[in-house]
Amino acid sequence: MAREKAAERSEGGGQAGRWLALSLAAFALIAAWLFVAASLADRRATLDQGWADAQNSASLLAQQANHVLRIAELATARVAQLADRVDLEDLRGANWTELSEIATGTPEVEAIWVTDAQGRIRANSRDRRMVGLSQAEQRWFATLREGATGHVLGLMHGAPVDGWHFAWARRLRGAGGEFRGAVVAAISAERFGAGTERLQLGPDALLQIDRQDGTTVMRWPLAATGSTHGESGPPRGPAGMREVTDERGVVRLLAWQAAAGMPVVASAAIARSHVLEPFRRRLLRNGLIFGLSAAMAGVLALAALHSDRRERAARHSAEERGGALAAALAEREELLASVQEGEARLRLAEKAGRIGLWDWDLREGRLTLIGDVFDDWGLRSRRRISARAALRGVQAEDRLALAAALTAAVRGEVPLEAEFRLAQLRPERWIAVRAEVRRGVDGQPRRMLGIALDVTDRRQKAQALAEANATLERRVAERTGALADANARLREGEARFRGIFDATFQFIGLLSPDGTVLEANDAMLRLGGVTAAEVMGRPYWDAPWWPEDAGIRAAVRDAVRHAAAGHFVRRELAMRGGDGLPLAIDFSVKPVRDEDGLVSLLVPEARDVSSLKAAQAQLLEAQKMEVLGRLTGGVAHDFNNLLMTVLGNLALARKRLGEAATPQLLRHLDAAALGAERGAQLTQRLLAFARRQDLNPCPVDLATLLAGLSELLRRSAGPRIQLAVEAPADLPPALVDPHALELALMNLVVNARDAMPDGGRIVVRLDAQVVDPGVPPQAPGQAVPDLTPGRYLRVAVADTGTGMDAATLARAVEPFFSTKGPGQGTGLGLSMVHGLAHQSGGALEIESAPGRGTVATLWLPVSAEAPAPVVAGREGEAPRGSGQVLLVDDEPLVLESTAALLADLGYEVQTAESAEEALRMLAAGARPVALVTDHAMPGMTGAVLAARLARERPGLPVILATGYAGPWPDGEGPPRLVKPYTQLQLGRALAALLAR
């Protein structure tokens, strides 16, 4: 029996062991499954948090970029308004301080610079030495020039701002809408990126701002390589997320967000390894815990076999906790539904009562507006703004009272109740705000919650009531003081009449019908230098403001007599000014009739039209110059065609004579060619005088130019003037148009000659000078003009003439201003010289004093290139060619000589006397290798022919050969060959064109 009981106990113990083993295995499997599932869920949650961080970072970066670019846009708008009021040159002079204040007053902007229409920097808020740098090759400048109003510049390094920066550029428009230049506001990339360090996105994280076309605007860190989107291309759409891998194999979580108001996209890329690093640490920690837990599971399981009661109690406790958790979840769902219902009711109340909610975070100083009513008031709802920006939205008259009410409410003195008007909102609206302060556990104010509603109607009704009361009181006062008011109005009317009568700048008086002076306004009394008592009662024509001229005074007396007869009289007369000089006036006398229709008063009126007369005279001179310019340009054009024929035939004659020509015949041919070439130079000077030729600056040896021009200058100065030229031979070349400079020197010498009617001495000096703010000029006591630092050459023309006083010197370079008599000068000489100096990048200085002569100094920039060497003797051999050339010219002599030159070079020549004939020949099957055409032809011009062939036959090379003196069409167009040209120039032009 004992053995059977022992066997039963042994069998029962073995069965219990098997159940224990099975339980432990099941526990281990379940625990492992739970551990893996929890780890995968933890990894997924960690990645989701990383995506959220990237998304939030991209959103914050987009907001910051939008904020900074908006501020840069506003700064450029202010500079554009400044540029509209002044010339671009003044931005680096008198108005540079205002430009600098705009830049320094905008902390987000590093620097501001302004360029002209050619891309040269005209002003820089940080460093004036940057003025003159060219931005014309920059892509952003071309974008603005092609019509864009604003443009975001990509990431750049170096001038005109030190370090890495990006910028906002704005197009400058002229009065007619033309492209005037650009203004650029630069933003420091390092300062902008430093603000993103607080995001703490870990190593290998990249923050980037791109334009819509994918151009990088800003990248942080700056030293990083690659981009946020790796090799997968720029982000598309306003927002999104994706996983990217760069060239180093680094996997990143990329999120992007487009800026609200700017054409840029902000993107944030966080390394996935950095995001998963906390998960890995938790996985290692949890793995150790799981191992320890598994080791302890057996012990706990064995203990559980012996603690059934404890297990049942634990199960019961777990069931109770589950029920409590279910109840808590149900209660939370009910609370959430209640909150949502409350929010819906609140929104209904907002819309029905036109009430807006606002929340002011007192710690951060940020204000949040909630409600559609704010949009109606021109404010943006659901946007956090600073308290200072919110106060700027209040009218200036109400701003101080509102700030005081807010301060008192925050201190807890009184609850906030205030009313104010919104700025820049028409019609005017009154807003009432009510709020209470919420405090933290430490008793300090944390936030202010309030409502805002429109009380304009109530205000208007109260104002209408007050106005009605005021109107009633005013009517009572008006009835009681009618007599006093009538007297006051009478005195006021008399005062107004006297004020208007005396305030006008015209000369007005009142006369009796017989011409006796009754009244004279202050302007007329000041003109005559008399008091009213001295002229009252005297005949009007005997007043001291009329010249001592019997004819003028008789004309005034006749005008008064006609006006007394009831006629309006108007004529042009002369008055004597305060300085004794005559004034041209528009004079009229108007009769004033009484109730019976009789003339009771005469009103004489005179208006000074001296300035108008002077302007008309200047216009007449300008029209004369225009006619002279057209005539000169036309003569030069025809003369070029004649010289073309002469030079072409002389070249052919010399070439075909060859060795058979005698030395005497060759000298005659060379003399004829030299005369024709001088004639060509003369036509160029005529075109420059007529201003029918653009400036063509090139390196010029001024000493050589003065040596060749000295004889002409001596002849212009005349026999009574001694002219000396002091020109050192070791000076660098100048960058200037030589023909325009020759004309300028001629003008200066002629002006100096006219200032010495009794003879004298003229000295033309040439020297070099360096313009550097820190280096004094080489000549003691001489001022340096306001020029860009660098090397310059000075050409000074000094005379011993009568000189000019300060008033004449101040107006010396004004167009049409001249001290010479009628018919002796146009007043354009010094104006042209000043324009040449300015367009060449230099300056004109004039020093003069009465009796001490005049020194006119031209400052010209030094050229970085050497002047082209002058080859003496016969010109070189022209390159030969082959193929058919179509020659078009309406002048038969030019057509014949040019055809002979081309045939001599080996070309087969076809000729046409018009563009239309050339088109017919091409349509009939002509296949030339090149086309040489004149420009100024009847019907279709050469430029139009070239443009048409560029569209219809794009492979046909075209040369435009002309002596045309008018404006050129826009665009580069085909290569141009200026008449008269030689066979060498023609051959080289054809060879170069066919080689391309």
The confidence score (pLDDT) of residue 861 equals: 92
For tokens 């002409």, the residue is 712
DSSP per residue over 452-516, as a string? EEE-HHHHHHHHHHHHHHHHHHHHHHHHHTHHHHHHHHHHHHHHHHHHHHHH-SSEEEEE-TT-B
Residues 138 and 70 in one domain: yes
Q: H/E element holding 902?
A: helix 892-904
Residues 381 and 426 in one domain: yes
204: which DSSP letter?
T
Residues 520 and 589 in one domain: yes
For 914, the token pair is 């018009």
CA–CA gap between residue 574 and residue 610 (Å, rounded): 10
Q: Is residue 269, in this structure, part of any structural domain at all? A: yes
**Can you give the CATH number for the domain in which 740 is found?**
3.30.565.10
N- to C-terminal Cα separation, the chain? 124
The confidence score (pLDDT) of residue 965 equals: 47
Q: Is residue 479, in this structure, part of any structural domain at all? A: no
CA–CA gap between residue 945 and residue 914 (Å, rounded): 10
Residues 941 and 828 in one domain: no
CA distances from 70 to 164, 213, 684, 901 (A): 20, 20, 53, 65
Q: Is residue 73, in this structure, part of any structural domain at all? A: yes
Residues 106 and 210 in one domain: yes
DSSP per residue over 692-751, as a string? -S----EEE-HHHHHHHHHHHHHHHH-TTEEEEEE--SSPPPEEE-HHHHHHHHHHHHHH
Domain end marker among 436, 454, 472:
454
Domain end marker among 588, 608, 628:
608
The confidence score (pLDDT) of residue 15 equals: 60
Residues 851 and 898 in one domain: no
Residues 157 and 236 in one domain: yes
The confidence score (pLDDT) of residue 871 equals: 43
Residues 712 and 603 in one domain: no
Residues 889 and 857 in one domain: no
Q: Are 367 and 385 in contact (CB under 8 A)?
A: yes
Map residue 886 onto helix, strand or coil. Answer: strand
Reported as half-sphere exposure (CB side, CA atoms, 13 A), residue 94 has a value of 6
CA–CA gap between residue 344 and residue 350 (Å, rounded): 10
Q: H/E element holding 301?
A: helix 272-305
Handedness of CA 659, 665, 670, 672 (dihedral sign): negative
Q: How many independent structural domains does the chain possess?
A: 5
Cβ contacts of residue 406 below 8 Å, gap of 6+? 416, 418, 448
CA–CA gap between residue 105 and residue 849 (Å, rounded): 45
CA–CA gap between residue 307 and residue 414 (Å, rounded): 67
pTM of the model: 0.35
The confidence score (pLDDT) of residue 160 equals: 67
Domain around 420: 354-454
Domain end marker among 572, 592, 608:
608
CA–CA gap between residue 233 and residue 755 (Å, rounded): 74
pLDDT along the chain (996 residues), means of 10: 51 57 74 82 83 83 84 85 78 74 80 86 76 82 86 78 82 84 86 70 80 81 68 75 80 85 86 82 83 71 56 61 63 58 54 73 82 74 74 83 84 82 80 85 84 84 84 77 66 64 73 87 77 83 83 88 89 77 84 86 84 73 63 65 71 68 67 66 56 69 84 82 87 86 84 85 91 60 69 92 80 63 52 76 88 90 77 60 91 86 90 93 91 89 90 90 60 76 84 84
> Whose CA is closest to 915, among 950, 949, 892, 952?
949
Map residue 689 onto helix, strand or coil. Answer: helix
For 564, the token pair is 């007394």
Map residue 29 onto helix, strand or coil. Answer: helix
Residues 892 and 857 in one domain: no
CA distances from 677 to 396, 644, 647, 846, 975 (A): 75, 10, 8, 35, 22
For 974, the token pair is 């085909």
Residues 199 and 113 in one domain: yes
Other residues' Cβ atoms within 10 Å of the Cβ of residue 308: 9
**Can you give the CATH number for the domain in which 162 is found?**
3.30.450.20
Q: Is residue 905, in this structure, part of any structural domain at all? A: yes
Strand ranges in 76-205 using DSSP code E only, listed in sequence order: 111-116, 121-124, 150-157, 164-173, 179-188
Other residues' Cβ atoms within 10 Å of the Cβ of residue 602: 24
Beta bridge partners of residue 671, listed in sequence order: none
CA distances from 97 to 66, 101, 125, 161, 785 (A): 28, 6, 8, 18, 20
Residues 282 and 197 in one domain: yes
Q: Is residue 626, in this structure, part of any structural domain at all? A: no
Q: Is residue 492, in this structure, part of any structural domain at all? A: no
Q: Is residue 767, in this structure, part of any structural domain at all? A: yes
Other residues' Cβ atoms within 10 Å of the Cβ of residue 755: 19
Q: Is residue 29, in this structure, part of any structural domain at all? A: no
CA–CA gap between residue 27 and residue 590 (Å, rounded): 122
